[in-house]
Each structure stands twice: as C-alpha cells, then as structure tokens.
Amino acid sequence: MPSGQPAGRRRYKPLMPTPVFKRILLKLSGEALAANQGFGVDPLRIHEIAAELADVHSLDIQIAIVVGGGNFFRGVAQQAREMDRVSADHMGMLATVINALALQDALEKQGIHTRVQSAIEMNQVAEPFIRRRAIRHMEKGRIVIFAGGTGNPYFSTDTAASLRAMEIKADAILKATKVDGIYDADPMLVKDAKKFTEISYMEVLKQGLKVMDSTAISLCKDNNLPIIIFNLNQRGNIRKVVIGEKIGSLVSA
C-alpha cells in the first residue's frame, strides 16, 4: 500500500460504460430545438441537448446529426398550402441550415469541434456534403451535422437521415421524439395505445405507423439499418440508448 494511504480508503475510478455502437446518426426534429416556444430556437433547450451530446461524445462514439426545420417552416403544412411544393420544400431545407448552425454553436460552446455539411451549397456558412470528408471528420472526433435534407424536393429529413446514415456506414439511426417509442395510436390521444418495444420494418409499413415516412423505412429495410425511437425530453436518454439500455422502440429486420 502506498505510504500515507489510509487502510480502507483507497479510491478506484468508476468504469466507463461500454457503448454498443461505434458510429450513430441522430435524427433531431426542428420542434425539439424550439421546445415549448413552438417556433424558432430555444437557447436553453439547445444547450441542454448539446450538453447531452457532449456526454455521449465523451464515450468515444462517432456522432452525425440530421436536423429538421419544422420549427421555422414545414413544407407540407398549412402554412405552405398555397405554395408550389418545390418552393416550399426548398424553404424547409434552408430552415434546417439555420438549425444546424445554431446546434453547431451550442456544441462548440461545449468544447466539441463540429462541422456543418449542407446538401445545398452555401460555402460561406457550411461545407458541401462530401461523404469521405464527413467520415474523416468523425474519425478525428468531430461531430458532423447534415443540413439541407437530401438537396431535393419531395424528400423529408427522415429520408435524408436514412440516406446519410447508410452513406457514412452508421451502426444505427437514433430518432429523438417527444414520446417514448412506437405506439399503434397516438398515446397522447388514446389512453390504452399499445407500445411496441420491438417491431419489424414490414410491420411498420403494413400498419402505417408514423415512425418515419415510408421512403425512409424502406431504405433502412433494404440495408438492414436498425432504428431506435426514444424520448428526447427525458434527460440522459441518448446516453442510455448508446450503452445498450432497453428504452424506446427498436425497428429492425
């Protein structure tokens, strides 16, 4: 025993949990950044999310993020009803860039190097999406935020998340929502809605469950990419998912 060390008082460092994923893609909705404001970016909420991501990043996990734009503009919603769909979708893509820049700022205030890559070129504010560069950023410990959707109208940010996850060879998509998994009906409206802890891609498509749109689910099915749906509003849930705790719902083959 080292001199000066009282018997029975030796301290041990707690073991770090072992992550079950090496590389993840996190899908965040624009509404998650707005929190209770309903519109725009809530500074307090975005810094809470950044702090959670910093905690997960400390486990040596490579993180990519796709963020939506619904807190500013929803291309298929009431506000775009009189607009041309292509114009509306392009406005939605630009909204995702605003959110990506806000999230980048919050993450860098946590001391994490972050890069924004946009599917729509705007070199003064973001890098263009280049697959190999994105992977290299993550290998160097940077978080990469993918903005601008797929760069094409008629495709949702869910589809962008599925596409980017496959391009960067992510181990799983983590979709952060305001409910704790997948239900056969809206649990906020239907008291006895049934929760699925595990469900197949085919069942999601057959039952028309509103997990992600059908294009996104089909892409994941064809490439056997698991999707985990969980509640972002419960602090620490991102970490729980990546270390393998059974929370939320798993969509797989």
pLDDT band at residue 166 using 50, 70 and 90 as cut-offs? very high
Residue 108 near residue 51 (C-beta atoms within 8 A): no
pLDDT at 214: 94
CATH 3.40.1160.10 at 23-252, yes or no: yes
pLDDT at 185: 87
Residue whose C-alpha is closest to residue 218's, from 202, 198, 199: 202
pLDDT at 74: 72
Per the prediction, the chain carries an average pLDDT of 91
pLDDT at 4: 54
Buried b (16+ CB within 10 A) or exposed e, 159-185: bbbbbbbbbbebbbbbbbbebbbbbee
- Given a cut of 60, whether residue 140 has pLDDT beyond it is yes
Alpha carbon separation from 117 to 96, 114, 227 (Å, rounded): 11, 10, 22
27-41, 123-137, 145-159, 227-241: range with lowest mean pLDDT: 27-41
Distance CA 100, CA 147 (A): 6
Pairing of strands 143-147, 62-67: parallel
pLDDT tens by residue, 62-91: 999 999 998 998 766 666 678 898 999 999
Calculate the CA 57 to chain-centre distance.
14
